[in-house]
A and B are shown apart, each in its own frame.
Chain A
Amino acid sequence: MTVLPGFPLSVVLTLLILLISVFALLVLFVIQLVLYFRRRSQSRKLEPALRAALAEKDIRKAAYLCERHKAAPPALVISSMIAHRECAEPSALVGVEEFKRIWLSTAGRAFSKSTRPAEFAYWIRIIVISAPTLSLLLDISRSLKGIDLISGDGSFSLYWALFRGLPTFSFGMFLAVLAFALEQIALWQTTKLKLMSDDVAIEFLVNCVGKSTRRGSTRYQPGSWMSLPETQRIRSMKEVEPEDAPDERRVAAT
């Protein structure tokens, strides 16, 4: 089936696929670039401030910072951990496990979005190689049928098929190389951001579960209530009271 003179449907379809792939690759490249620089700039602003807030154990400030720099990858992880902190387990170990679970699930969700451009690039790579190859093979097989192998008559159609299909194939490979490079860059950038986000999350965990700078409540000791200032004051008042004074409490009791 011929769509244009000398160009069968398979070739036209391949050209169309390659054009769409070029457009998709360009869009992916721009999206990846914009997203990465946005995330990186936000992370660079957030990271030192967040570390300082965590070192001071100022969770409200940390939450505010995460709210302010939402686009930064650590912000999502830390804000969900802060939200969970309110209903944290009393046991430290169970608390750590809970925090870890939340951290891993949130980070997994956040970074699966970041790797989408890489996944798209992978599929584009496969399509831009296979579509021209299929088209070329189809064309060659069709043109080989009409060749007289002894006299060489009809070799024109084979050369024409090669002449038409090989540039498309070459262009497809060039696009595949670009898609592969984009995929590698996207994965590398995601790994870099993930490591930074994990670093901040671990710092949050260490600061949250670690040694508290606040004064803890004293342990209960039997009989220690006798030494409380209020009890001592009442006891001293009792000692000062005359023996014949009416005992109001006893009266009230009777």
Chain B
Amino acid sequence: MATLIILIFIATAVTSISLVISNLSDMQAARLDTASIRPEISAAIQNADPSQMMALCARYPESALGRVAKDVFAKSDLLPADEATRSELLRMLLDHALAREAERATRATNLLRTIGIICIPLGLMATISDIELAIAPLGWRNSQHLAPLAAMASAAAYTTAGLLLSLSVLALYKYLKTRRSTALSELDDSCSELLAAFLSRPTGREAQRRVCLTPPCDAEPGQGSPILTREHL
């Protein structure tokens, strides 16, 4: 039992640490991608060209903003021209895309919370098992009433270990949750900008505005990128 519990605790610790590391690296990648996509996405929305949007989102696959914009953009052509209805529907689409991103973001944190909560009863169960083993062979009728106390004291180590592990995992959970909340609130802000960009986009079969193009980093001089930026508008 003791070996099993120790193995479970080690596995739990390793899983938690790898979860946190992978989440932090994901968040960092998402942040960099979002920072790159943010200046260009409004222009891409204004252009209303699906291929441009797809190319932009494919270039930054880690960006949550890109995923949200892609989801909303796919349906934005179907929206009515009436400003109020359009705004309401866009808000609903953005909220739904945000909810999807929030659910995606909370998967790892929920797993961490589950691990943190389960560690306590596991440690306690190991302690109880050791106490049982200490009491079982004792001749209770004898006067050796202090004999199992030493075993009980050593068995309490499992509960302590479980509690410490649980506290550490829950602290990591709290840290990750705070980081995620910050990232989600930043995404929420970006979604407000997206909403403004979608609302200012010309609707119907009006001529689409074509503004000068931003050359990509690796492009030859004179070659244009399909993506537009706000600075050029």
Mark A residues whose CB is within 8 Å of B: 92-93, 96-97, 100, 151-153, 155-156, 159-160, 162-163, 166-167, 169-170, 173-174, 176-177, 180-181, 184, 188, 191-192, 195, 198-199, 202-203, 205-207, 209-211
Could you say which of B93, B110, B118, B145 contacts A202, with CB atoms under 8 Å apart?
B93
What separation, in Å, do the CA atoms of A202 and B71 have in the docked complex? Answer: 12
Between A and B, 18 residue pairs with Cβ closer than 8 Å are A93-B85, A96-B89, A97-B88, A153-B145, A156-B141, A156-B145, A166-B128, A166-B131, A167-B128, A180-B114, A180-B118, A191-B103, A195-B96, A202-B92, A206-B78, A207-B78, A211-B77, A211-B81
Bound together, the chains give a CA A156 to CA B148 distance in angstroms of 12
- Of A97, A151, A176, which one neighbours B121 at CB under 8 angstroms? A176
A192 neighbours in B (Cβ, 8 Å): 103
Q: Is B61 an interface residue (CB 8 A)?
A: no
Min CB gap A107→B, angstroms: 12
Given A211-B80, A211-B81, 20 more pairs with CB closer than 8 A: A92-B82, A92-B84, A96-B85, A100-B92, A155-B140, A156-B141, A156-B145, A166-B128, A167-B132, A169-B128, A173-B121, A177-B121, A180-B118, A195-B99, A195-B100, A198-B99, A203-B75, A206-B78, A209-B89, A210-B89
Interface range on chain B (Cβ under 8 Å from partner): 35 or more
Secondary structure of the B contact surface, majority rule? helix
The answer to whether B96 touches A198 (Cβ under 8 A) is yes
Minimum C-beta distance from B66 to chain A (A):
18
The smallest C-beta distance from B80 to any residue of chain A, in angstroms, reads 5
Residues of B within 8 A of A (CB): 75, 77-82, 84-85, 88-89, 92-93, 96, 99-100, 103, 110, 114, 117-118, 121-122, 124-125, 128-129, 131-132, 135-136, 138, 140-141, 143, 145-146, 148
Cβ contacts under 8 Å, B88 to chain A: 93, 96-97
**Which residues on A sit within 8 Å (CB–CB) of B100?**
195
Give every chain A residue within 8 A of B117 (Cβ-Cβ). Answer: 180
CB-CB nearest in chain B for A174: B125
Q: How far is the CA of A207 from the CA of B78 in the complex (A)?
A: 7
Closest chain A CB from B142 CB (angstroms): 9
Contact A152 B143 (CB under 8 A): yes
Complex CA gap A64/B103 in Å reads: 31
CA distance A207 to B131 in the complex (A): 66
Shortest beta-carbon distance from A81 to chain B in Å: 13
- Contact of A181 with B114 in the complex, beta carbons under 8 Å: yes
Q: Which residues of B contact A209 (CB under 8 A)?
A: 80, 85, 89
Contact partners of A155 in chain B: CB under 8 A: 140, 145
Q: Closest B-chain residue to A154, C-beta based?
A: B145
> Are B85 and A92 neighbours in the complex by a CB distance under 8 Å?
yes
Are A159 and B135 in contact, CB atoms less than 8 angstroms apart?
yes
Q: Across the interface, which residues of B come within 8 angstroms of A151, CB to CB? A: 143
State in angstroms the CA–CA spacing of A245 and B31 once bound together: 88
Greatest chain A CB density within 10 A among B81, B82, B122, B128 is at: B128
A19 vs B140: C-alpha distance when bound (angstroms): 29
Instruction: With both chains docked as a complex, state the minimum distance between the C-beta of B122 and any C-beta of chain A, in angstroms.
Output: 8
User: What separation, in Å, do the CA atoms of A181 and B143 have in the docked complex?
Assistant: 44
Distance in angstroms between the alpha carbons of A130 and B117 in the assembled complex: 17
Tell me the minimal C-beta distance from A189 to chain B in angstroms: 12
Within the assembled complex, what's the spacing in Å between the Cα atoms of A68 and B100?
28
